Amino acid sequence: MFHPCYFTMFFLKYSFCKCCPFYYESHNYFTDVSFSKMLVNIQICSNIFPSRNCKSVCFKELDGEAHSLKVEKILYQGKSPYQEVLVFESSTYGNVLVLDGIVQLTDKDECAYQEMVTHLALCSIPSPKNVLVVGGGDGGVLREIAKHDSVESIDICEIDQLVIDVCKDFFPRLYVGYKDPRVKLHVGDAVEFLRNSPEGKYDAIIVDSSDPIGPAQELVEKPFFQTIARALKPGGVLSNLAESMWLHTHLIQDMLSICREVFKGGVRYAWASVPTYPSGVIGFLLCAKEGPPVDFLTPVNPIEKIEGATKDGREMRFYNSEIHKAAFILPTFVKRELEAYNSSTEKERPEKPTAKPVKMKVMRDSAITAS
C-alpha cells in the first residue's frame, strides 16, 4: 500500500533503452536474461527505479521527500495475507527489510531503533520480570530484552508469520532473539491477545506496530491504550513508537494527550536518530501505570551494570545511559508546540490535517490488526 507510482514492464524497458542507448545497441533487451530479471524485480517492487546514469538501481520512498538506497541484489520478494515483503541487499546499509513498499529496517541502523525502544523502558524500572512485545516480528526487540537477566518470561505477539520466516533467513543478527528460552511466540492479532491477557501481568509492554492511519487508527486511540494499561502491573511501563517530531507533531500531541488520561504514573516523549526513517528520526512514547513511581529521565536499572548485558557478542551499538538521558531533551520548537497544545482547550486547537501524515511509513512491522 501507499505505492507512489507504478511502472509497467514496457515503460521500464523503454526508459532503460531511452537513457542507455549503448545498452539498446548491444543487447536484445527482450531476451537478455540478466536484464529481464532486473526488470521483473523492478516491476514487482514499484519503488525501485533506475538511477540517473542508469548504471545502478535504487529503492526510493516518495511523498514530498525521497530517500534512495542503491540496490545490489534482490534477496526475497513475496506476499503474505497482510502485506508485501521484500528484502534486498543495499550498497551502504546492508540487507534491507521492506513491507508494503516501505523500508522497515536495515542491517546498519537497526540498532538505534531496537535498542532505544527496548532499553528506554526496561532501564527505567528495577528488575523487570515479565515483558510483552507487540509486533517486532524481526526479533530485534527480543534480542535486546534478553540482555536483562532479571527477565523471566518474554511473550511476543506477531500477526505475520512470513515476516518472522524472512528475518530468520536474511537477518540472523535480529532473529537471534527468538533463540532465548524465555521467549514464547504467539502468532495472531495482538489486540485480541491483549484483551485476553490476565490483568496486571506485565512489568513492561513494548509496542512495535504499523502507522496510525486507516484501520490502524484505532491503535492510537484511548481504548487501545486502556487495554495496554489493564495488562500492566502497577508501576509497569509502556514503550510505544510515536512518529517523527519533524513530520507528525499533531499525532504526537494527540497521543500524549490520550496517554496522560490513561497512564497516571507519567508520560514522556523521547527520540533517536535513525538515518533510514523519514526525516532521520523516530519518536518513542514512554508511559507508566499508576503505582510505584517511575522516573524515565534517569535509568534506575542502567544497562552498564547488568551482568553480561554488554559482553560476549551482546555489546550495545547505540544505547547507553547518557543517550537515555539525552533522548528526553527536546528541541525548542517541539517543546513550544507541545506546551501550547497542552495549555489550549479543544476548541482552540488547530484543525488536524485531513491528509495522511506521510506516505513513507515511520513505524515498522504490521503486527496488529485493528478490531
- What's the whole-number average pLDDT of the chain? 80
Instruction: Locate 198 and state its grid cell.
Output: 490476565
When pLDDT is averaged across residues 358-362 and rounded to a whole number, the result is: 36
What tens digit of pLDDT does each residue of 127-178 get?
999 999 999 999 999 999 999 999 999 999 999 999 999 999 999 999 999 9
Q: Is the pLDDT of residue 64 over 50?
A: yes
Instruction: Locate 74 and state its grid cell.
Output: 534482490
Question: What's the CA gap between 254 and 267, in Å, rounded?
Answer: 13
What tens digit of pLDDT does each residue of 291-328 get?
999 999 999 999 999 987 877 667 899 999 999 999 99
Instruction: Locate 105 and state its grid cell.
Output: 529496517
Q: Which domains does the chain have, with CATH numbers?
A: 9-79 (no CATH), 110-343 (3.40.50.150)
Catalytically annotated residue among 138, 160, 208, 211 = 208
Beta strands at 102-106 and 95-99: parallel, antiparallel or unpaired: antiparallel
CB 189 within 8 A of CB 368: yes
* The pLDDT of residue 370: 34
Per mean pLDDT, which range of 62-66, 115-119, 125-129 is the poorest? 62-66
Residues with Cβ within 8 Å of residue 184, at least 6 apart in sequence: 153, 154, 155, 156
Question: Is 208 marked active-site?
Answer: yes
For residues 344 and 244, the model is more confident at 244
CB 77 within 8 A of CB 86: yes
* The pLDDT of residue 98: 94
Secondary structure, 3-state, the chain: CCCCCCCCHHHHHHHHHHHCHHHHHHCCCCCCHHHHHHHHHHHHCCCEEECCCCCCEEEEEECCCEEEEEEEEEEEEEECCCCEEEEEEECCCCEEEEECCEEEEECCCHHHHHHHHHHHHHCCCCCCCEEEEEECCCCHHHHHHCCCCCCCEEEEEECCHHHHHHHHHHCHHHHHHHHCCCEEEEECCHHHHHHHCCCCCEEEEEEECCCCCHHHHHHHCHHHHHHHHHHEEEEEEEEEECCCCCCCHHHHHHHHHHHHHHCCCEEEEEEEECCCCHHHEEEEEEEECCCCCCCCCCCCCCHHHCCCCCCCCCCCCCCCHHHHHHCCCCCHHHHHHHHHHHHCCCCCCCCCCCCCCCCCCCCCCCCCCCC
Question: What's the CA gap between 285 and 271, in Å, rounded?
Answer: 9
Measured torsion, CA atoms of residues 311, 314, 318, 323, in degrees rounded to the nearest 10: -50
* The pLDDT of residue 344: 59
Closest CA to 364 of 210, 139, 156, 218: 210
Per mean pLDDT, which range of 39-53, 156-170, 217-231, 290-304 is the poorest? 39-53
Q: Is the pLDDT of residue 58 over 60?
A: yes
